[in-house]
Amino acid sequence: MAALDEDTDDPYLWLEDLDAEDAARWVADRNARTLAVLDDPGFARMRDAIREVLDSKDRIPYPGWRGDGFWYDFWCDADHPRGLWRRTTVDEYRRDEPRWDVLLDIDALNAAEGENWVWAGATVLRPSYDRCLVSLSRGGADAVVVREFDLHRRAFVEDGFTLPEAKSDVSWIDADHIYVGTDFGPGSLTSSGYPRVVKRWRRGTALAEARTVFEGQVGDVSVNAGHDPTPGFERDFVGRHMDFYRGEVYLRRPAGDLVKIDVPDDAGCDVHRDWLLVRPRSPWTVGGVTHPAGALLAAPFEAYLDGRRDLTVLFEPDGRTSLSSWSWTRGHLLLVTITDVRTRVHVLTHDESGWHRRPLPGAGELDHTWIVDTDPDRGDAYLISSEGFLRPATLGLGTVGGDVEVLKREPAFFDAGGMDVRQFFAVSADGTRVPYFVVGAGGGGPTLLTGYGGFEIAQTPYYSGVIGRGWLDRGGTYAVANIRGGGEYGPRWHEAARRENRTRAFDDFAAVAADLVARGITTPDRLGIEGGSNGGLLMGVMLTRHPELFGAVVATVPLLDMRRYTKLLAGASWIAEYGDPDDAADWAYLREYSPYQNVRPGRPYPPVLLVTSTRDDRVHPGHARKMAALLGEHGYDVTYYENVEGGHGAAADNAQTATLWALTLEFLWRELTRP
């Protein structure tokens, strides 16, 4: 079969039409087949066991500061499947059963309005903290409706700021003005479907009267604007993202003139009070000094705008260590670093003699620690959490210079007795050492391997009651591959597998699979793999390139048709990651691995499960639909399930999440344990 190089070659193009009756019938028929096969007592028990984990009232409610002394949380359980937005005080939170002040009940709102709202976050007005802009998604899509909400009255504001459904970006300026980027009509969106224009909107006026303050280009990914109300440091910023990794940031003066912050366009930058932080993604020479990709540099902000380049190196990567994240308290900077996929946290403080660094207490040898939140408006407190594959999460409250108070401990959702965590390194095709973790008791059961390998996102250790109950408890082994394309070793690890180098990520994953077999941990027929989104692309490539390595494959909300991905929903925004299929040079390498274009008859493809969501407005469900149809045409063993809600997460509530995970784990277990 020839590759499907042109749209005219594609026999299943009709499945991209979400609203077509024939496509809807096709989906309904395959959903019914899937549920008929899997919907038995074993599946039901698995679904219920997973749902119990997801709905447990003993889970940690991870709070966030809004600067008003309250801790805010969004919570879902069996009684509140769509969730409660609520808040409490620090003292109440310390109690085993805190009293929560419920601000918005999404289930009650849905009943009152006849909608299927899914919570998509809120932006609170500083420093009054009496109003917020609530984002609500229909069914979990990225597109949202924005509505102003009164925190004192616990009600939406009549005639307040309101935006219809769109991929909007909003932020407060003051009580009567907001920055808004949305669909203003023809020409107002980028080719990726995000706002191209930012306007300043005054209360009581029509959106059509809002004044434009910044415009990007049609070929950009998006634009944005924000106001920093920190007393004494009030500033406005606007910016454009030319692609996923390059952007420009401008200080917007009160008169409306823009001052560009002169940093490399692939650098991240952050302004906090007196300080500018810069993290370049490629080597940057400034002031006669070349700083490596992934370094973190600091400079006094106003002096930098005036042309001075007195940069201080706060972090410099090496071959094993990268910067994961940073967070500001009022007077300190908290850095989370990763060394061979193991995290450490440091606090940096500036005084008259310069910057000083010291470690924060924290992480276990194979655990992951991160800063949950800080409250830079009010002081130097921070929330810190740590967890591991076999260690439930612990949440603590600390203050820089003081001790950490343990606030909550997550319960164990499975018996980890006899299990351990090991880290190995596989050797990829080009000789690169690729780390991966193996979790389990080594009892000879089937192995589930997962990975992602894209967008500089690191796969760090995490505790999962779902994997514990659904896989480890049954005698299975779980493995996580830290392949190139991710962020485990910073920008260099990501850059090594971007665009024309993408196949390195696939080679890495195949090398981990082979290493698992070589070490006697599993065999190909007992090795299943699972991944979502970009990880779904990885699964599709493994299916079509290395079918002999695996016994079963699951791809969730996958990217599979690399010929048409830029024409579907947000796909154009990922050209910097993958390449442009409309460019002949880029298509030359994309076509070599694009799963949909590389399905061939007569290959030893293992059974595959494809899962997606009709409401996914990021990765089009047509990717999974067409792949399932094409595999079925060639007689391969393909199972398909499409949730009608859920957006890119594929599920809109815990019940749907439990169903999808039960489908995944039951499918893999059955296929990998067949006699």
pLDDT in tens, 403-441: 999 999 999 999 999 999 999 999 999 999 999 999 999
β-bridge pairing 312-315 and 296-300: antiparallel
Describe the crossing of helices 21-38 and 622-633 by its angle, rounded to 10 degrees: 70
pLDDT surpassing 90 at residue 360: no
β-bridge pairing 144-150 and 162-166: antiparallel
Can you tell me the distance from the alpha carbon of 342 to that of 333, in angstroms, rounded to the nearest whole number? 20
Averaged pLDDT for residues 21-28: 96
Q: pLDDT by residue (tens digit) across 284-329?
A: 999 899 999 999 999 999 999 999 999 999 999 999 999 999 999 9
Which are the contacts of 66, defined by CB distance < 8 A and separation ≥ 6?
A: 72, 87, 124, 129
For residue 60, the one-letter residue type is: I
pLDDT, residue 362, reads 56
Give CA separation, 123 vs 148, 368, 378, 519, in Å: 9, 28, 18, 50
Residue of 533, 529, 552, 530 whose CA lies nearest to 613: 533
Asked if residue 463 lies in contact with residue 390, where contact means CB atoms within 8 angstroms, the answer is yes
CA angle 627, 610, 479 (to 5 degrees): 125
In a domain, 495, yes or no: yes
Asked if residue 554 lies in contact with residue 668, where contact means CB atoms within 8 angstroms, the answer is yes
In a domain, 618, yes or no: yes
Instruction: Of 31-45, 189-203, 545-559, 661-675, give the lowest mean pLDDT range.
Output: 31-45
In a domain, 605, yes or no: yes
Can you tell me the distance from the alpha carbon of 559 to that of 594, in angstroms, rounded to the nearest whole number? 9
**Prior bond of 127 cis (ω within 30°):** yes
Backbone angles phi and psi of 297, in degrees to 5: -120, 145
Asked if residue 87 lies in contact with residue 397, where contact means CB atoms within 8 angstroms, the answer is no
Asked if residue 583 lies in contact with residue 591, where contact means CB atoms within 8 angstroms, the answer is no
In a domain, 351, yes or no: no
**Domain count along the chain:** 1
In a domain, 251, yes or no: no
Can you tell me the distance from the alpha carbon of 182 to that of 222, in angstroms, rounded to the nearest whole number? 10
Backbone angles phi and psi of 577, in degrees to 5: -85, -45
Residue-range definition of the domain harbouring residue 556: 7-52+413-672
pLDDT, residue 42, reads 85
Task: Work out the pLDDT band at 69, boundaries 50, 70, 90.
Answer: confident
pLDDT surpassing 50 at residue 1: no
In a domain, 14, yes or no: yes
Can you tell me the distance from the alpha carbon of 318 to that of 337, in angstroms, rounded to the nearest whole number? 11
List, by residue number, the catalytic residues.
533, 648
Asked if residue 98 lies in contact with residue 71, where contact means CB atoms within 8 angstroms, the answer is no
Mean pLDDT of the chain: 95
pTM, to two decimals? 0.96
In a domain, 406, yes or no: no
pLDDT, residue 37, reads 79
Q: What size, in residues, is the chain?
A: 675
Handedness of CA 656, 657, 662, 664 (dihedral sign): positive
pLDDT, residue 501, reads 98
Instruction: List Cβ<8 Å contacts ≥24 apart for 570-573.
Output: 570/142, 570/192, 570/193, 570/194, 570/617, 570/618, 570/619, 571/192, 571/619, 571/620, 572/190, 572/191, 572/192, 572/193, 572/221, 573/190, 573/192, 573/193, 573/194, 573/221, 573/222, 573/243, 573/244
Q: Which CATH number covers residue 659? A: 3.40.50.1820
